[in-house]
Structure 1
Amino acid sequence: MTASPTLSRVDLGALTAAVAETAERYDRSGAFPTDGLAAVHRAGVFQAVLGERFGGDQVDALERLRILQAIGRGDPSVALIVANTVATHVAQIDRDVWPAHLYEKVVAETAERPVSINTARAEPELGAPARGGLPATTVRRTADGWAVTGRKAYVTASTGLDYHLVWAKTDDPEPRVGHLIVRGDAPGITIIPTWDHLGLRASSTHDVVYDGVEAPEDHFLEIPFTGVYRDPAAQASALGLTHAALYVGVARAAQDFFTRFAHDRVPAGLGRPIATTDRIQTVAGEIEAQLVQAETLLYGVTEKAVAGDPEAVARVPLAKVLIVRSAIAAVEAAVAALGNPALSRTNPLERHLRDVFSARVHPPQEDQALLTAGRRVLGV
């Protein structure tokens, strides 16, 4: 496959380093990672992922994964916010999902600053929409368009979102379902600070309450009914393996620390760096093996799926499961080998361990992926 023309424009190593500078500070404070997103914007990432017809570079799927892996290697909270935003830009390339005038405004804003976009999907009662069901959140018609009311859970980037895509049903006798695009500063939006998780602490994944938040008529993006309402944004995210990529970045960051520590640690009884011992070298090999496996699946399956290989498309959910397992195993191997220093908050490895565990929550979740694969194999 031909290399993306923007590989020379987005310096992935410099991008990782710039984002990593503030990762620990935001992890400790739990604040919205403004500086990390600014670094991503300065690196030209948003220009790189915009479609050519909107003045962007329109990098291919593999390069998008490389970029997200590089950001995840620096700060996965920032990478998750960027990944969700990128999903909107990618969808707009092939078809005009957003109204043209509104998307033109987003593109103009993005040229000036890191504009964040995300779909508000999960609800306290419904759970993950990828498993099906109708949202309780409701949109009703007004004289000028729509008004949305409801509560969403796990809205990543909530405190810094510029645009919310609120998954909701209409109040018609036979409800229609879709996303209502609302500005993050619109009246009636309240952020409920519920995010106090083990990992991705700076992702600002709080609950959001919408109380009659208004938007124009053309801001409602309907989802056609196909027998069961499943959120296509969640499906698209899974098919792109974008979230898996950022956690491979986390595992690479853990490997970076393990390597530095192994060279710097010189026990008095040994008299030389532990990197020279067979045990540490074997662990280093195990970590690399897990990461080679993860990256081979990530990029290999994506390349074949994008090329239209139906077998590769069908294997994407299993690939996500296996990539996540490898990323977690790589970090755990580093932690187990280094002992107490690995779990000290003075070192970044304990943060990488906390962050990589979040990989499991993104769709498709492991049980669903295995169930689907099993039924396919058994023909039932």
Structure 2
Amino acid sequence: MTQVANIAHQSESIVDAAKSLTKVFAERASGNDENDRFVADNYADLKTSGLISAGVPSDLGGGGASIRELCDVLKIIAGACGSTGLALSMHTHQVAVPAWRWYNQEAARDLVAPLLRRVAEDKIVLLSSGGSDWIGGSGVAEKVEGGYRITARKMFSSGAPAGDLLMTGAISEEDGARIVLHFGVPMAAPEVTVLDTWRTLGMRGTGSHDIKIDGLFIPDDKIPVRRKAGEWHPAFHLIATIAFPLIYSAYLGVAQSARDIAIDIAKKRPVSHRTQSIAGRMDTALTAAHLARNYMIDVAERNAPSAQTINDTMIGRRLVEEHTIKVVELAMELAGGLGFYRKTDLERRFRDIQAARYHPLQKDVQSEYVGAMALGHSVDHIF
């Protein structure tokens, strides 16, 4: 009972910390967006507040927050600044995966503990290249004495300007098979360069630049996972089941804040059946998005990653995408012409929410995966 109470107290502090940052994050958001500027000041505040290490188990010096609590934090942060929320979600899921292993896999504890302690003690920022690599993998791993020489270009690495360690992979040709090797890349290595490529419709402050890796040596003993390219693997069952409720909590925060802005605008106008109808459809869509996000969290809390949890998670991810986009579209309609002005901060949310479309599994692939599961067919190569 004491341990549960301690965790509850810690998570309450984490949520409070997130709420305390929203005003200053919201004040910075427009300037960062208009100048394609990475949210560097916000990252400094995330470190000071303890949110960078919130997902690290408390026994290892972190906040001990659960997936559900981390989702709440990301929703709050993204409501103030979508770019900060989305970028933080990429770091957070890279912390949450080894934390899950520490809690649930006794044999993995010694393997993941050093990384988690670094996040807690040194406040290092983890990056992900999962959006550009995914199941197929990318990059070249050339076998050399004692390890591999890595050459790659990784896209969509959110938080790149602040990153310390890129969690990524590359493909090795071994005995006629394409094998994806997974490893961490130190961002300070001279063979690693952040390319200034992030010029986008929305989420402009995430710093999701390309990262170039040119001949970096990775020792054999620093490659914890090897898998066949183009096939689902238990490691990806775990990663995807945990990552997507966190990532899509950021989009839920964007949609919630767009709704709140539109409601404030509409309340200042005369009562009309039309505005009531739009507001009602908007809140119905927002409730659907909340339910779908919570369903994804429920799936993660089964603590049993598998092909079935991917199926369930991706159904939830698709529903959050569709309903959050609908919420923001209706918010623009409810706000009317004022929503077109930058000063309302609604058009930025309209642009930011469009990014919800582009994470895997996108709708055609997700539909194929769900259909194959329903029909009892193999999903090993559907990604």
Aligned with 1:79 (options 82, 85, 92): 85
CA-to-aligned-CA distance 1:33-63 (integer Å, 9 cap, x gap): 1112223233332342111331223222211
Letter of the 2:118 counterpart: K
Equivalent residues of 2:93, 2:242 under 8 A apart: no
1:163 CA drift (Å) = 0.8
Relative to structure 2, which stretch is displaced further, 51-60 or 288-297? 51-60
2:277 is aligned with 1:277? no
Distance 1:72 1:232, change over 3 A: farther
- Normalising to structure 1: TM-score of the pair? 0.84
User: Counterpart of 2:94?
Assistant: 88
Q: CA deviation at 1:352?
A: 0.2
Q: Which residue number in structure 2 is paired with residue 266 of structure 1?
A: none
The alpha-carbon distance between structure 1 residues 91 and 305, as it changes in their structure 2 partners (threshold 3 A), is closer
- Write the mapping of 1:20-99 to structure 2, written as runs, cut at 5 A: 20-93=26-99, 94=101, 95-96=108-109
Q: Report the secondary structure of 1:346's partner residue.
A: helix
Q: Which residue of 2 aligns with 1:258?
A: 262
The percentage of aligned residue pairs carrying the same residue is 23
Residue 327 of structure 1 is aligned with which of 307, 316, 324? 324
Instruction: Give the aligned residue type for 2:317.
Output: K
CA distance in 1, matches of 2:192, 2:202: 26
Change (3 A) 1:80 1:229: same
In 1, the alpha carbon distance for the partners of 2:236 and 2:166 equals 13
**Does 1:341 pair with 2:338?**
yes
Aligned counterpart for 1:157 among listed residues 156, 159, 162: 159
Tell me by how many angstroms 1:17 deviates: 2.8
How many residues align structurally? 360
Match of 1:209 in 2: 212
Q: How does 1:1-380 map to 2 (within 5 A)?
A: 4-10=8-14, 11=16, 12-93=18-99, 94=101, 95-96=108-109, 100-101=113-114, 103-110=116-123, 115-121=124-130, 128-130=132-134, 132-141=135-144, 146-170=148-172, 172-173=174-175, 176-225=179-228, 228=231, 232=235, 236-237=239-240, 239-240=242-243, 241-263=245-267, 273-274=268-269, 276-307=271-302, 314-380=311-377
CA displacement 1:41-94 (0-9 Å, x = unmatched)? 333323421113312232222111111111111112212221121122222221
* Runs (5+) with no aligned partner, structure 2: 102-107, 378-383
Inter-CA distance 258–227: structure 2 relative to 1 (3 Å threshold): closer
Cα pair distance change 1:149/1:234, threshold 3 Å: farther
Q: How much has 1:217 moved relative to structure 2?
A: 4.7
Give deviations 1:135-190, integer Å, cap 9, x for gaps: 232254356x5432122222222222111123112365555422232221210222
Moved more, 306-315 or 77-86: 306-315
Higher mean alpha-carbon deviation, 305-314 vs 273-282, is at: 305-314
For normalisation by structure 2, the TM-score amounts to 0.83
Q: 1:294 touches 1:327 (CA, 8 Å); kept in 2?
A: yes
Asked whether the 8 Å contact 2:296–2:317 carries over to 1, the reply is no
Given that residues 176 and 222 in structure 1 are in contact (C-alpha distance below 8 angstroms), is that contact kept between their aligned partners in structure 2?
Answer: no
Superposed CA RMSD: 3.0
Cα pair distance change 1:156/1:227, threshold 3 Å: closer
How far apart in 2 are the matches of 1:292 and 1:60? 23
Q: Following the alignment from structure 1 to structure 2, what is the Cα–Cα distance between the partners of residues 335 and 370? A: 29
Contact 1:23 1:36 (8 Å CA) reproduced: no
Cα distance in structure 1, aligned partners of 2:178 and 2:366: 29
8 Å Cα contact 2:77-2:250 kept in structure 1: yes
1:329-370 alpha-carbon deviations (Å, 9 max, x no partner): 010001122232212222210000000010011122111111
Higher normalized helix content (fraction of residues): 2
Q: Distance in 2 between matches of 1:230 and 1:313?
A: 11
Give me the whole-angstrom Cα distance separating, in 2, the residues matched to 1:370 and 1:71.
31
- Structure 1 gap segments, 5+ residues each: 123-127, 264-272
